[in-house]
Structure formats: structure tokens, C-alpha cells
Amino acid sequence: MKIPAARWYQALKERSSRRQFYSKIIEKPKIKQLNDLIEKINNDFDDLRIILVQKNVEEIFTGVLGSYGKISGAPAYLAFVGREDTPYMEEKIGYGGEAVILEATALELGTCWVSGTFKAEAVLADLDLKETEKLYAISPLGYPEENPTISERILKTVISSKKRMDLDKLIINKKDLEEEPEWVKTALKTAHLAPSAVNRQPWRFKLGENSITIQLDTEEKNEERSKNLDCGIAMLHLEVGSLKAGVSGSWKYLEGKEVARFAVE
Ligand SMILES: Cc1cc2nc3c(=O)[nH]c(=O)nc-3n(C[C@H](O)[C@H](O)[C@H](O)COP(=O)(O)O)c2cc1C
């Protein structure tokens, strides 16, 4: 997958989770642009399958806090599906899924990663999943109401979604970011903007000689709501930041608490 660094860098700064939408249908050229990207991603990553479903989401989402968090109005959604026994599938779902989310943002569409507050049966009825495949998450897709509505603002306050932990505290082996090369600073600041389930920010960064390793905050993986999926999202953000600063690299998956290392090529 080729990363349009400037376009997605801008998108990731503008993106925030949106939960209230107009029912306005998404124009065909935008659907085509997203489907073209989805096709490339699905080809690049074995056993990953992202699906764009053009269908009103009303039956699909459940509320987080009574009626406040309920996602409504969108005329389409994205489903993030993968083969469960494929290594690093959660990271791939996060990385590939966030690529589509950022492209949607660049097309001025609203999104929200959702792995908890939806009715899986309703989504599975729309998809033709193979026995080996798992539905990891979905996202509404559509034109968000211009300004976050009162219920969106209440929800954002409750889950402090705008807040990110202090970046210095997320770097486990070095303190003074200002002394690091430009690409490291940009890559980390960009990764820091990544969304994560309940905004838990489970990613930690270890700086090496021309490399950055992403690792989990704790040994405990949380099987139900994978922290590795959150890390996959942060991987894409980190790479977009690095490319924006003019430095390309490649990823190597790691084991245990360590998730993956990005090394300059
Ligand atoms: C993997 C994942 C799962 C999520 N699941 C839900 C969910 O079930 N319901 C929901 O309302 N928001 C969900 N979110 C959205 C997060 O709450 C949100 O990304 C986080 O609070 C940061 O806010 P932001 O996206 O506006 O930057 C999820 C986010 C991620 C990355």
C-alpha cells in the first residue's frame, strides 16, 4: 500500500470520532475512491478483508451511555474482517483499517472505530463471512453533523477522548524528545494522535538507533478488545509521520509485549 503522506498527515490531525450523521448519500466518486483503496489493502494483506456496506446503520449500533453514545444517521459503514488464525491479524486490521479511515477523513467523511457498541448479529447478516473469519470492528461512514452535537460533546467529555497522555511518559527509554531527529519527533507526535478503544492509549515507544519499537503498556493483552489492534492503528500513524518528515522505513513484527519495530531503510 502506498501511503499518501501529506494527505493522511493532514487527515489524522483533523480526524476525531464522529457519532451523529446526516443521512445524505455518499457520492459515487468518493465510494469508488474508498473501494479502490480497500481493494489494494485487501490484496496487500493476506486474509484481511475490509468491506464497505452501503446501508443505513440505524439497526446496527447500540448506545454507550443510555441514548447518548448511540451512533446514528450514517448511510454506510465499514466492516473490518480478518482470518483469526493469521499471525498479527489484529495489527493488520488496525493498520489497514486506519488507512481507510484516514482516506475517508480526507474525503470529508466522518468515521468512528467501533468494536464494542454494535450488534454483531446485525452486521454479520449483511456479510458473507467464512468460518475462519472474524469481524473485528466496524465504523459508520457518512457526513457528520457539522459541529459535534450536545450528546457527542457529553460523550467526548465522559471518555476524555480529546486527551492523550503526556508523550514523554509514553517513551520508555528516553526523556528529551527535543534532542531526537526530526523524523522521530514527527513520527511520535503523529502516533500519539492515534485513536484507541476507550482512549486507553496502550502503546509505548522505545527509541533505538534509527528505529522506533511499539510495545504494549502491560503484559496483559485483553483478548476481548485487542490492544494489538490499537497498536496497528498507531503503527500507521507513526509511519505517516515519518514519511511526512521525509524518512521511509519498514516494519518487523515482534513477539510478546513488543508489537513491531519501525526501522529506517
Ligand atoms: C479499536 C477501537 C474500538 C473502539 N470502540 C468503540 C465503541 O465500541 N464505541 C464507541 O462509541 N467508540 C469506540 N471507539 C472510539 C474511541 O472511544 C475513540 O477513538 C477515543 O476515545 C479517542 O477519541 P477520538 O477518536 O475522537 O480521537 C473505539 C476506538 C478504537 C480505536
Average pLDDT of adjacent 10-residue blocks, the chain of 265 residues: 97 94 96 98 97 94 68 96 96 98 98 92 93 96 84 70 87 86 97 95 96 92 81 98 98 95 96
Predicted pLDDT of residue 79: 98
Which of 157, 189, 208 is the last residue before a domain boundary? 157
Domain total for the chain? 2
Q: What is residue 222's predicted lDDT score, i.e. its pLDDT?
A: 64
Cα–Cα distance measured from residue 141 to residue 240, given in angstroms and rounded to the nearest whole number: 22
Distance 179 CA to ligand 1 centre (A): 32
Task: Give the pLDDT of residue 66.
Answer: 54
Instruction: Determine phi and psi for 187, rounding to 5 degrees.
Output: -60, -40
Dihedral of alpha carbons 227, 233, 237, 243, sign: positive
| DSSP helix/strand/coil, 243 | helix
- 171/150 same-domain check: no
pLDDT of residue 65: 56
Same domain for 91 and 187? Answer: no
**Strand-pair category, 258-264 with 211-216:** antiparallel
Residues 137 and 50 in one domain: yes
- Neighbour count for residue 24 (Cβ, 10 Å): 11
Both 20 and 98 in one domain: the answer is yes
Q: Which long-range contacts link 219-228 to residues 24+ away (Cβ below 8 Å)?
A: 219/256, 219/257, 225/115, 225/116, 225/197, 225/198, 226/90, 226/136, 227/196, 227/200, 227/202, 228/88, 228/90, 228/91, 228/94, 228/259
Domain boundary among 122, 157, 192: 157
Q: Dihedral through CA 31, CA 25, CA 157, CA 166, nearest 10?
A: 10
The C-alpha atoms of residue 10 and residue 151 are separated, in whole angstroms, by: 26
Distance CA 251, CA 112 (A): 26
Instruction: For residues 139 and 250, state if they share a domain.
Output: no
- Tracing cell 454494535 back to the chain, one arrives at 118
Based on DSSP, count helices (H) and strands (E) in the chain, helices before strands.
8, 7
- Which protein residues are within 6 Å of ligand 1, measured from CB? 16-17, 64, 69, 112-117, 137, 159, 161, 195-199, 229-230, 233
User: Which CATH number fits the domain that encloses residue 43?
Assistant: 3.40.109.10
pLDDT of residue 67: 53
Ligand 1 centroid to 154 CA: how many Å? 14
Domain boundary at 118, 137, 157, which?
Answer: 157
Q: Which of 198, 201, 229 to mutate to test the pocket of ligand 1 (most atoms within 8 A of CB)?
A: 198
210: left (phi over 0), alpha (psi -120 to 50) or beta: left
77 and 206 housed in the same domain: no
Q: Are 164 and 13 in contact (CB under 8 A)?
A: no
The answer as to whether 177 is a domain residue is yes
Predicted pLDDT of residue 62 = 85
- The angle subtended at Cα 226 by Cα 217 and Cα 198, nearest 5°, is 75
Alpha helices (H) along 107-216: 120-124, 150-158, 167-170, 182-191
For 16, 136, 163, the CA distances from 90, given in Å and listed in that order, are 21, 8, 24
CA 29 to ligand 1 centroid distance, Å: 27
Report the nearest-CA residue for atom 8 of ligand 1.
116
Tell me, yes or no, whether 38 and 131 share the same domain. Answer: yes
The Cα 23–Cα 43 span in angstroms is: 31
Task: Return the pLDDT at 146.
Answer: 76
Residue 202 domain boundaries: 167-264
